[in-house]
Amino acid sequence: MNSVFCAIALGGNLGDPKTTLESALQVLSQKPGITLVKRSQLYLTKAVGPPQPDYVNACAVLSTSLPPQALMATLLAIETQFGRVRREKWGARTLDLDLLLFDDVILNTSALQIPHPRMTERAFVLAPLVEIAPDWVEPVSGRTVADLVKTVDCSEVKKMG
């Protein structure tokens, strides 16, 4: 398979999330078939769901020769490597890696949905993503990331120094 561009979101709010996100990007960039092309700054975001610490979020654009399912399996393995345990929906976590966009692919299986089904509603995804991929067209809506970010309230998403 030829390389394609994909976009991922990173987040975490347990332990030292800043260090975890930086380390996860390093681990990811060392995996065969994955190249880190561009990454956003880190953002601090109020948590959604049960009471928990604020999140540190970021996005990255990768180039990959892996098919979407293999890339997702790699992301899940890295989450586990960094101590991710899935206990409750929207619960606190050491690391969350979401596959947002995979070229212009639309995929809807029980195991994987691309584009990520809730990315267009999430300021903590769109704010860092617009920094690195403003012209990327989300294939379901047909709208650019720069256009989509205008439709969400980004007031709770703050760039970290």
Catalytic residue among 16, 54, 87, 98: 98
Catalytic residue among 54, 84, 143, 147: 84
Decide if 96 is catalytic.
Answer: yes
Decide if 135 is catalytic.
Answer: no
Decide if 147 is catalytic.
Answer: no
Q: Are 133 and 152 in contact (CB under 8 A)?
A: no
Look up residue 16 and give its two tokens.
């030292």
Decide if 104 is catalytic.
Answer: no
Look up residue 97 and give its two tokens.
């890696």
Neighbours of 16 (CB within 10 A): 12
Vertex 62 angle, CA 68 and 121, to 5°: 75
The values of phi and psi at residue 29, to 5°, are -70, -15
Give the C-alpha distances (Å, rounded to integers) separating 32 from 23, 36, 78, 98, 147: 17, 11, 13, 19, 33
Please list the active-site residues.
Answer: 84, 93, 96, 98
